[in-house]
Amino acid sequence: MTRFRVAVPAVLGVSLPVVSLLVVSLLVAPDAARSQSSSRDLGVVPFENSGPAEAQEPFLKGLAALHSFFYDEAADLFREAQEIAPDFAMAYWGEAMTYNHPLWRQQDREAAVEALGRLAPTPAERAAKAGTDRERAYLQTVETLYGEGSEEERNLAYSEALKTLAARWRQDLDASAFYALSIQGLGRDGTLGMQDRIRSAAVLEPLFDRNPDHPGVLHYMIHAYDDPIHAPLGLRPAVLYARSAPAVPHALHMPSHIFVQLGMWDRVVASNIDAYQASVDWVQRRGHSRAKQDFHSLSWLHYGYLQQGRYQDADRIFDKIEEVATETEDTWVRQYRNWMAARRVLESHAWASDEWTPLEVPVGADASGPEGASLAGMVFVNGVAAVERGELEAAREAHARLTERLEGLEDPGESSEILAQELEGLILLAEGKADEGLARIGEAAEMEAAMDAPSGPVHPVKPALELHGEVLLALDRPADAETQFERALQRTPNRVMSLLGWARAAAAQGKEDAARERYASLAAIWQKADPGLPAVAEARGYLHTREAIGR
């Protein structure tokens, strides 16, 4: 496993000395307590319960896995505890919890009710099997979660039940941690969503002081701070979480949520190499289908490689998912495969190659399902490539497909609407209608600016603020372009296409110090880039020329 080394990050040229001192102080602390044996590789969760001694290991390991969203593994471990102790009520509570994925907005109520029903047929009979009042209160929270009412109503009632539980048993760190997660799981966007995450952080911060190794506390803190504004606060849990649960793919991946928000691409890559490999090891150990490998982490690794200009490495790992996608009906695998294919084209401008062929968009896939947005992204990429190659009829066809998709869905999502507007704007520009095209892209940029910043790789697949800056720069309006690139980088720090545009805009205005600083940032990110990339040569050439002039 990669051990994270801490250096003071520079985010858009701003150093973070206070946060860095906090992180460094954590990392230089004695490490003996964190040297985990194989039995501790899922994390350590001290949780008092009335279960028999022989069921403790699978139950506690299952609870640790649950805190890391390692849901399949957790369910297996809780069922193992049930086999050892068929009346162990908390083992059934734990399995029921694995069917609620609050931050992914997924809930399998039917499976959870079935699991609880194996303990006893009614809530009253199940409560009678709980060994303590506290355990009965835990059972009541899942009875509420999977009880009557809409999912939204049940989620809110569940959060209130956990709040009561945590207030009654204040020393129960897990109760407070699950309460904090339930606040984030309310699933609200915009200002309300950010308020929920910071309310959750306020619950978690004192827990971190009590137990800085707890996998749930570390995990939920990272989610609480997963945006460009609060990400510096997430560095503390990020550098500790992977070490607290070194065999859990999601625990190895989660630090990269903070690293992406700070544009720390080397660490994004390192985190997701470890996470994906851990998932491969787990799949082999458990004998699962390869479709259960962590392609979420693989897609983030792919994006990190693209930011570093390591297109050959990106292609190598794309081949891994392509192989699995061709042999499975799993829509999530195909979704990640589609996004990776689209990003590769956009980030590298692959359409410039003589060997370019449009992406093959699957026919007959469910455009309203998980794969739908990625299919729209692929159609959009083909449209952009067609514009760039002067093939306007093909571009119009791609735009028509996007528009048709939007009209056919009840809720197509803002990102898909932005893509359609971006492509329409590019077509108008190519037709010589500069004012109309620029206005259309500007509208898309403002729509994007009103959205929450992405949690991970950019979404939409081509940031509209970035595209707006590129178009303004092409129209010889570098000052306006610079403003748009700066706005884009506030949402996605150190994203290289925005940073490159920002450098070019500064250079076009004769702002040599600003241009040199931005090109230097790019040169640092591209230290391991493939040889011969024009943008890399541009950055290094500018720095070399200015250095020579300075002498």
- Residue that the structure tokens 């355990």 belong to: 135
Q: What is the pLDDT along the chain (551 residues), one digit of tens a residue?
A: 333 223 333 333 333 333 333 333 333 333 323 323 345 699 999 999 999 999 999 999 999 999 999 999 999 999 999 999 999 999 999 999 999 999 999 999 999 999 999 999 999 999 999 999 999 999 999 999 999 999 999 999 999 999 999 999 999 999 999 999 999 999 888 899 999 999 999 999 999 999 999 999 999 999 999 999 999 999 999 999 999 999 999 999 999 999 999 999 999 999 999 999 999 999 999 999 999 999 999 999 999 999 999 999 999 999 999 999 998 888 999 999 999 999 999 999 999 999 999 999 987 666 666 688 899 999 999 999 999 999 999 999 999 999 988 876 666 678 889 999 999 999 999 999 999 999 999 999 999 999 999 999 999 999 999 999 999 999 999 999 999 999 999 999 999 999 999 999 999 999 999 999 999 999 999 999 999 999 999 999 999 987 656 55
Predicted pLDDT at 26: 36
For the entire predicted model, the pTM comes to 0.90
| Domains of the chain: total | 2
Q: Is 287 a member of any domain?
A: no
From the list 361, 364, 534, 376, the residue with the least C-alpha distance to 460 is 376
Token couple for 508: 């076009």
Return the DSSP state at 88.
Answer: -
Predicted pLDDT at 372: 83
The total of other beta-carbon atoms located within 10 Å of residue 149's CB is 11
Pairing state between β 100-101 and 14-15: unpaired
Question: What is the per-residue burial (b if ≥16 Cβ within 10 Å, else e) of 380-416?
Answer: bbbbbbbbeeebeebbbebbebbeebbeeeeebebbb
Secondary element (H or E) of residue 106: strand 106-107
DSSP conformation letters of 442-453:
HHHHHHHHTSPP
Predicted pLDDT at 187: 84
- Residue that the structure tokens 């309300």 belong to: 192
Q: Is 259 a member of any domain?
A: no
Q: Is 512 a member of any domain?
A: no
Q: Is 377 helix (H, G, I), strand (E, B) or coil?
A: helix
Residue/partner pairs of 427-433 with CB below 8 Å, 24 or more apart:
427/383, 427/387, 427/392, 427/395, 427/396, 427/399, 429/471, 430/387, 430/390, 430/392, 430/395, 431/392
Q: What is the CATH number of the domain that holds 48?
A: 1.25.40
Q: Is 382 a member of any domain?
A: yes
The total of other beta-carbon atoms located within 10 Å of residue 70's CB is 27
In terms of domains, do 204 and 320 share one?
no
Q: Is 15 helix (H, G, I), strand (E, B) or coil?
A: strand
Q: Is 3 a member of any domain?
A: no
Q: Is 522 a member of any domain?
A: no
Q: Is 4 a member of any domain?
A: no
In terms of domains, do 219 and 307 share one?
no
In terms of domains, do 217 and 303 share one?
no
Return the DSSP state at 384.
Answer: H
Q: Is 526 a member of any domain?
A: no
From the list 460, 483, 454, the residue with the least C-alpha distance to 471 is 483
Which of 474, 490, 506 lies at the terminal end of a domain, its last residue?
Answer: 490
Amino acid type, 24: V
Return the DSSP state at 458.
Answer: -
Q: Is 263 helix (H, G, I), strand (E, B) or coil?
A: coil
Question: What is the per-residue burial (b if ≥16 Cβ within 10 Å, else e) of 321-330?
Answer: beebbeeeeb
In terms of domains, do 219 and 304 share one?
no
Predicted pLDDT at 364: 63
Rounded to the nearest 5 degrees, what angle is found at the Cα of 465, between the Cα atoms of 410 and 508? 160
Which of 224, 241, 269 lies at the terminal end of a domain, its last residue?
Answer: 224
In terms of domains, do 193 and 315 share one?
no
Enclosing domain of residue 136? 39-224
Which of 200, 224, 248 lies at the terminal end of a domain, its last residue?
Answer: 224
Alpha helices for 53-189 (secondary structure H): 56-67, 71-84, 89-97, 109-119, 123-129, 133-145, 151-168, 173-184
